[in-house]
Structure 1
């Protein structure tokens, strides 16, 4: 990025040229181009910095979700290694949709909101099934809290990056499963956590792609 001292020297040189009628138009054009280039580099840096913060948090939650699934399975009793392999229609697919970066960011946000509701349901169920001092409950709470913060980061990123676009449409209420017995709750919780882990991995990849496509001036920032 152009340093302030260099910017001042170049601006001063151009302003000196502005005093000469023969070079006024050229100097003005160069001054405008220089300012535009500097502003563009600043926007690129801000964009890359925002992606870096969001990607760093996503990686952390993904790592914690891997550990969470291990703890979850260990706390569910016999046959728990099979629980995550069941298909449950109410749990969102971990796929990100859309063609443009703005559409794909919207898709990520919709998924995060949906998974937030499912994580809350899993927390409620496991609170009834586990001891109050269970480490699983602590890990569930940590992942849920970080996920809400990730949603807030992405929402701000979307509004900063696409200020001329309207906010995404209101999201319909998430469809949660009907009342379940203890075994169904164990299976449901495992499927939710595994699907969310897979989704977070795709978010990491999507953020790296967004960096390359949108933050063009700082492609190697991360």
Structure 2
């Protein structure tokens, strides 16, 4: 066992959590810096290219969100799991809806957009708990950036699959959040949001993966969706 490992083991649980999220943020930043900027009109990109990129980001975010959720529990709730399973009707659900493929991919897109204001709310709440060194805040910034990036790519994918259907944006602000929450309610709310996001990303990955070889073939004409 080398010196770095021995010292890592001696760190308190809270310090280990902070170090873990810092390392995750640094890794996420390095991955994002190597990715090309996505043109808002999605020009010059094929269906398979959008699909490959969406799968890559979503798979990475499943792992990253799991790490952020673990750190969130350690810092805010002492790793308590039951609180994160509380029923909160205002938080987006993780279930993807729709009968046709296009409807289900659109459901992926709308869910991504719906999670964003909730994540931003959680981040603002976390700023009051342990400013200015709360590692959860920095982690949430990168989660928000990545979720927004995935939504842009999925939007591009929808434009390829259904170019003649306008894509309506979900509401910009979350609904159903009480105007005032005590500290416990805020921490429970944040854990529920991250837990459902992790579940949703796993379902979204499998939904997007189903397009591979069915609707997004390389060097082939994309058939219209029913």
Q: Same fold (TM over 0.5)?
A: yes
Distance 1:104 1:57 in 2: 18
The corresponding residue for 1:167 is 166
Higher helix share: 1
Tell me the CA shift for residue 217 of structure 1.
5.1
The corresponding residue for 2:198 is 197
Distance 2:54 2:77 in 1: 36
The corresponding residue for 1:113 is 113
Distance 1:61 1:78 in 2: 23
Distance 1:87 1:107 in 2: 21
RMSD: 2.0
Structure 1 or 2, whichever has the larger Rg, is 1
| TM-score (normalizing by structure 1) | 0.72
Contact 2:54–2:153 (8 Å) recurs in 1: yes
Contact 2:50–2:156 (8 Å) recurs in 1: no
Query: Pairwise mapping of residues 28-107 of structure 1 onto structure 2 (< 5 A)?
Result: 46-78=46-78, 80-107=80-107
Equivalent pairs, count: 174
Structure 1 spans left out of the alignment, 5+ residues: 1-44
Distance 2:168 2:145 in 1: 24
Return closer, same or farther for 1:62/1:82 CA change in 2, 3 Å cut-off: same
Contact 2:77–2:187 (8 Å) recurs in 1: no
**1:82-136, CA deviations, whole angstroms, 9 ceiling, x for partnerless residues?**
3212111111111111122211111111111110011011001111112312221
1:215 counterpart = 2:216: yes
**1:47-86, CA deviations, whole angstroms, 9 ceiling, x for partnerless residues?**
2222111100011111110000110001114473332121
| TM-score (normalizing by structure 2) | 0.71
Structure 2 spans left out of the alignment, 5+ residues: 1-44, 221-226
Return closer, same or farther for 1:78/1:51 CA change in 2, 3 Å cut-off: closer
